[in-house]
Amino acid sequence: MSARVPLVLVHGNPENATVWGPLLAELRRDDAFALSPPGFGVPAPDGFAATVDGYREWLVARLEQFREPVDLVGHDWGGAHVVQVAMERPDLIRSWASDALGLYAPDYVWHQRAQVWQQEGPGEESVKEIFGGSLEQRLAVVAGLGMTGPTAERVAASMDDGMGQAVLTLLRSAAQPVMAEAGRRLANTRQRPGLALIASNDIGQASGTPAQHRAAAEASGAEIAELADVGHWWPVESPRPVARALTAFWSRLGG
């Protein structure tokens, strides 16, 4: 039996790498690499540019450390970083999967909280309230997002002022028309097989509407996995249908 292709996972905001535990249990993988974007679960190094371009360069540098192309999976902002790599450095991956393709639709509009973060003043007040409170307050924030259980507790524990600052810098670097302009390069991702994960119960639709996800998937040539009864925080709450979709997708790839 040939060795498995390395699996690399990239999470989003306000998460840390522990969110992947339930999915990895479903996949029965103990050999995956969970990468935490600087500022999200791990400290950002001095001088790190917590921007759309900065995170793409960070992920490219991490993937260049592998001896062979990887299967790359991203959730939330991690999904956006995955798409950036698929557009710019397809040589580093065998395949990619993302639940954030809708961000790259030409008509995507940032959700209400993101628009607050993109404003000087109100943004600082918002992240102070969300990321700078007591552990009890941060637990309430995480619960309000829809995450529960032990993983949610670990997520709350990792939320801090550094994460809040990274959120502000990242979201401000992504203010429109930045994402719409990036979406014009979606056809570049056709160089490697892609999978668009569309969670039917993503009530907030922070990464785009189902129609925007489908339109971006068509532009990128990605397969679509419609995930019934799955919400935005699927790595924690609904990993099983995503594990099935990923396993089926990988089984269709050659080499």
- CB neighbour class for 11 (10 Å; exposed up to 12, middle 13-18, buried from 19): buried
Q: Alpha carbon of 241 to those of 34, 86, 122, 137, 238: distances in Å? A: 20, 24, 38, 31, 7
d(CA 175, CA 114): 9
Q: What gap in Å lies between CA 51 and CA 164, rounded to an integer?
A: 13
Which residue do the tokens 């007591």 mark?
A: 134
State residue 227 phi and psi, 5-degree precision. Answer: -105, 95
Work out the angle between the directed axes of helices 122-131 and 135-145 (0-180°, nearest 10).
100
pTM of the model: 0.96
Q: Please name which of 229, 234, 241 lies closest in space to residue 145, comparing C-alpha atoms.
A: 234
Task: Kindly state the tokens that stand for 113.
Answer: 């909280």
- Write down the residue that tokens 């109100």 correspond to: 122
- Output the tens digit of pLDDT for each of the chain's 255 residues: 346 899 999 999 999 999 999 999 999 998 899 999 999 999 999 999 999 999 999 999 999 999 999 999 999 999 999 999 999 999 999 999 999 999 999 999 999 999 999 999 999 999 999 999 899 999 999 998 888 888 889 999 999 999 999 999 999 999 999 999 999 999 999 999 999 999 999 988 899 999 999 999 999 999 999 999 999 999 999 999 999 999 999 999 975
For residue 151, the one-letter residue type is T
Structure tokens at 145: 């997002």
Per 3-state DSSP, the chain is made up of helix, strand and coil in percentages (nearest 5) of 50, 10, 35
Fold type of domain 7-109+178-251: Rossmann fold (3.40.50)
